[in-house]
Structure 1
Amino acid sequence: MSILIALQQQSDFTSTEQRISSYILAHLDQMPTILIKDLAAKTYTSHSAIIRLAQKLNYRGFRDFQRELTAESIAQAHQAATVDANFPFSATDSVATISQKMAALNIRAIQTAQQQLDTNQLAQAADLLTRSRRIFIFSQGDSQLRARSFQNKLVKINRFAIIAEEYADESWNAANLTADDCALIISYAGTTKIHQQVATYFHAHQIPMIVLTGNPQSPLISQATQHLLTVQSEYNFAKIGTFASQAAFEYVLDSLFAVMYAHDFHHHLQDLRQKQHLIQDGPLTTK
C-alpha cells in the first residue's frame, strides 16, 4: 500500500501514531531532511514512537520510512495537476479540457488503486472464487454495473455468477448460499444495511465472503473472509458522478479476473480457441 495512503487511513494507529502521521502529512516538504529527534520534538512524542510507526507500516526503521516517504512525495508532486474527483470539470472548460481532465482522473484513480492493492488478499480472493461452487454478487447502483461487467468476464472461463440483488431477491439468494459457495459484496461506502445483514449471516454460518469497498472503516471488513480496499478522494453525495470509485472498482475486478484466468492459463487459452471456432466458423456462427 502507498505510504501516503496508509498515513491518511491511520488504520489501527494509536493516538500518538495519529498525531505523528497528521504532522507528517501537513509538513511533507520538511520530511526529506528532518531528523528523527526534531520530528519527535515537533509531535511531542519520542524516537521509539516514530520507529514503531515506521515498523507498523513495514519499514525497518525511520531512515527506510523517510526514504520511501520522500520518493512518493516527489512522485506525487510531479504528477499532472490533480483533478477533483467530485467535480473534475467546470462550466467554462472546453471539450478538449474536459476530455483531458477525465483521462487524468481515471489514470489517477487506477494508479491509486494499484498502490493500495494488497496482492496477497487479491490472490486469496481469486483462489476462493475459483474453488467456489457458485458465486453470488451483492451490489447496488453504479457498483452493480461493475458487477455485471465482472459477471460477463467470468463467462469466458465457464464461471457463472449470480447478481443477487437483481430482482430484489437478495434475502432469498443469501439464504441459498452454502459453505461451498462464495459471496462477493461490492460497495464503495460499505455501510448498506442489507449488506451488513447478509455479511453477518455469512460470517455466522461460515460462508466465504469477499468484500470490495472504498471504506477502510466499513463494518463489512471484519466479517469478510478476504477484503479488497481502494480508497479514492470521492465524497458520498456531493459529486457529479462516481468516476474515480468506479474506475478503481473496474480495475480491481479486472485484476481479480486476470488472476483467476492465470490460475489455469493454458486450459483457458485452449478453451478460448475451441469456443471461438464454434462461434466464428462452426455451428454457432451468426455470419
Structure 2
Amino acid sequence: WSELKEAFLKEEEYLSSHFCDIDANLPFTAEDPCYTIASKLLTLKKEALDDTFQLINHVDLHYAIRMLDQASLISVFGVSNNGLIVQEFKHNMRRIGKLVEVVNLQGELLYNAHTMPASACALIVSYSGETPIYRKVLAVLKENGIPSIALTNIGDSTVSKQADIVLRLSSREKLYSKIGTFCTDASIEYLLDVLFAGVFALHYDEYLREKIERSSQIEQGRFSTTEPLKESRFFDDFD
C-alpha cells in the first residue's frame, strides 16, 4: 500500500505540473489565426521539453549512454511514426562511427531480435508501451542476454517492466484523440539528442576532430554568403 500511495502521489504531482495553459491533444482551435497557432505550438514544444527533462533519472541516463557507447551495434525498434523520428538519431550516431540500424517493419522486429549479436544493444521507442510484438521482442532479447533501453510513457507498461533501462517520455497525449503527436515527437527527439550528446561527450575531442575533418573533406564545395553560416579556420589547428 505504501508503494502504491507513493507512486500515486508522484503521478498526481507530475500531472498537475506543466501544461496548465495548453491542451497537448487540442493545442489550437479552428478559430485561431496562423500566427496564434504558431505561438501555441511553440508553447507546447517548450512544455514537452521541460516535462521530459523533469522525468530524466540521472542514474538511468548514465547507464543508457554507457550501454550505447559499448555496443557494437545499436538496433532501434520503432514502428509507425516512431520509425521516422529515430532516423535522425541513426544519422547522428553514424557520423561518429557508431553502427545503428532502424527496425520499423512489424514483421521484422522479432526476426531482428533473434539475429542480434551478443555485443549489441536494443533501443525501443514506444509511447504506449503496449505494442504486442514488443513483449516477444524483449523476451528474446532477455533470453539472449542483449541489454535494452526503452523510451516510453510514465506508466507501468509492458515495455517498461521488461526493459533493462527506462527513460520516460512526456505523457500528456491520448493515444488517438488528438490533432497530432506534437508533444510526443518533441519528447522523443529530445531524449534521442540527449543520448547522442552523451555518447559524443565520452570521446569529445576524438569525435569532434574526426567529424570536422570528414565534413570539411566531403563538403568542400559547400559555402554560404550568410555571415553566421560561414566557416572559419578556427579548427584547422584543433588538437
Structure 1-normalised TM-score? Answer: 0.71
- The DSSP-based 3-state class of the residue aligned with 1:157 is coil
Q: Give the structure 2 partner of residue 206 of structure 1.
A: 145
- Note the C-alpha offset of 1:273: 2.2
- Count of residues in correspondence between the two structures: 222
Q: Give the structure 2 partner of residue 146 of structure 1.
A: 85
Matched, 1:13 2:18: no
Larger radius of gyration: 1
Quick check: 1:279–1:286 contact (8 Å CA) kept in 2?
Answer: no
* Aligned AA (1:143): N
Aligned partner of 1:193 among 125, 132, 140: 132
- Note the C-alpha offset of 1:145: 1.7
2: CA distance between counterparts of 1:221 and 1:178? 23
Q: Give the structure 2 partner of residue 99 of structure 1.
A: 38
Q: Give the structure 1 partner of residue 226 of structure 2.
A: none
Matched, 1:223 2:223: no
* Aligned AA (2:3): F
Quick check: 1:137–1:183 contact (8 Å CA) kept in 2?
Answer: yes
* Aligned AA (1:262): A
Structure 2-normalised TM-score? Answer: 0.84
* Aligned AA (2:78): S
- The DSSP-based 3-state class of the residue aligned with 1:190 is coil
* Aligned AA (2:191): V
Q: Deviations over 1:142-174 (max 9, x none)?
A: 211221111111112111211123484222211
Structure 1 unaligned runs (5+)?
1-9, 29-68
Aligned 1:17-36 pairs, distance under 5 A? 17=6, 21=9
Q: Higher relative contact order at CA 8 Å, sep ≥6: structure 1 or structure 2?
A: 2
Q: Give the structure 1 partner of residue 65 of structure 2.
A: 126
Bigger drift between 250-259 and 80-89 goes to 80-89
Quick check: 1:190–1:215 contact (8 Å CA) kept in 2?
Answer: no
Quick check: 2:72–2:99 contact (8 Å CA) kept in 1?
Answer: no
Q: Give the structure 2 partner of residue 257 of structure 1.
A: 196
* Aligned AA (1:155): R
Quick check: 2:170–2:183 contact (8 Å CA) kept in 1?
Answer: no
Matched, 1:84 2:23: yes
Structure 2 unaligned runs (5+)?
224-239
Superposition RMSD in Å = 2.6
Q: Give the structure 2 partner of residue 240 of structure 1.
A: 179
